[in-house]
A = this chain, B = another copy of it.
Amino acid sequence: MGKEEHPNISVDCVIFGFDFEKLNVILIERKLIEPDTGKRLINDYTLPGAHIFKDEPLKKAAQRILYDLTGLHDIYLEQFYTVGDPARLKNPVDQFWLECIGKDPAEHVVSVCYFSLLNCNQVTIQHKERNPRWYPLKDLPVLAFDHAHILDKAMTALRRKLQYEPIGFEMLPDKFTLSQLQKLYEVVFDTTIDKRNFRKKIARLKYLVQLDEKQQGVSHKPARYYIFSNEEYKKTRNNILNFTI
C-alpha cells in the first residue's frame, strides 16, 4: 500500500523561475511514440505533474512528484486551483496518449495544482529523463492537456500573492538587491516601475533589512544586498503593497 497510483487524482506544479531578467516556467516533454514504429508523433510539453499515490497527502504528493520529475526538493508550494472537468483529457490526442502510457482513458482525473516562484540561479534542475527545463513565459512551446489554462490561473494566483504578501517571501533568494526585487515586480506584473518611487515604497517595509555587504565583480557601482526578515514580517503583515495590475 502507498505506492499504488490513484487513478483519479493528480497533482500539477507550476514552477515559476525568475532569472533577474524574465519569468520562466519549468516544463517537461510529453513524448507520444507511435507504438509500432517508435516514431515520435507529437512532442508537446507539460507541467510537471503525476498521479498521487493512494493514501498520500496532496501536499506530500506535490513535493514528491516535483522531486521525481525535476530533482527540486524542499520547495514551498502553494495550492491555487483544482481542475475537474471530465472533458479535460478527452480530446483524441490525449486519449491516444493515455492509452500509450497504459492509463485508462475513461477515468475522470481531478488535478490539484500548486505553484511556486524560485530564483532560477539558485536552483538546479536534475532528473533529465523527461528533459525538464526553464522556458520563458513569453516564448512557450505548445502545452499539452489543459496546461495552458492551468498556467494562466497560476499567473493570476502569483500576482495576487505578490500583492498581498509583498515579496513572495518564501520564494526569494537569500539576499538580493533592490533593483532585482524591482525587476521581479516588473516582470510579474508586466509593467515598469519608477526606481525612486519603488525604493520609497519599500523603504517603509521594516522587514526588508539592508546588509553591509555589496555586490562584487560587477562593472558598475555595486548594489547593497538586502535580506527578508521573517520576524519583522510577522509583526507587520498588514501592510499591503498596491502595485496595480
Chain A residues proximal to chain B, CB less than 8 Å: 6, 8-9, 52, 54-59, 79, 81-87, 108, 110, 112, 160, 163-164, 238-240, 242, 244-245
Given contacts A58-B110, A79-B81, A112-B110, contact A9 B6 (CB under 8 A): no
Task: Say whether B86 contacts A112, CB under 8 Å.
Answer: no
Closest to A81 in B: B79
- A and B contact pairs by CB, cutoff 8 A, 18 listed: A6-B108, A8-B9, A9-B84, A52-B84, A54-B108, A55-B86, A55-B108, A57-B84, A58-B83, A58-B84, A58-B110, A79-B81, A79-B82, A82-B82, A82-B112, A238-B245, A240-B242, A242-B242
Per the bound structure, the CA–CA distance linking A77 and B164 in Å amounts to: 23
Per the bound structure, the CA–CA distance linking A212 and B70 in Å amounts to: 61
Report the minimum CB–CB distance from A110 to chain B (whole Å). 6
Per the bound structure, the CA–CA distance linking A83 and B112 in Å amounts to: 10
Per the bound structure, the CA–CA distance linking A79 and B57 in Å amounts to: 20
Copy count, this protein chain: 2
- Rank and list the top 7 A-B pairs by shortest CB-CB distance, nearest first: A58-B84, A57-B85, A82-B82, A55-B86, A82-B112, A55-B108, A238-B244
Main secondary structure, interface of A, reads mixed
Which residues of chain B have C-beta atoms less than 8 A from A79's C-beta?
Answer: 81-82
Per the bound structure, the CA–CA distance linking A245 and B238 in Å amounts to: 6
Name 7 extra pairs, CB < 8 A, besides A56-B86, A163-B164: A9-B9, A9-B110, A52-B84, A55-B86, A57-B86, A110-B110, A110-B112
Given contacts A160-B164, A164-B160, A242-B240, contact A82 B58 (CB under 8 A): yes
Which residues of chain B have C-beta atoms less than 8 A from A81's C-beta?
Answer: 79
Which residues of chain B have C-beta atoms less than 8 A from A239's C-beta?
Answer: 244
Report the minimum CB–CB distance from A15 to chain B (whole Å). 19
Per the bound structure, the CA–CA distance linking A160 and B84 in Å amounts to: 23
Which residues of chain B have C-beta atoms less than 8 A from A244's C-beta?
Answer: 238-240
Per the bound structure, the CA–CA distance linking A54 and B109 in Å amounts to: 10
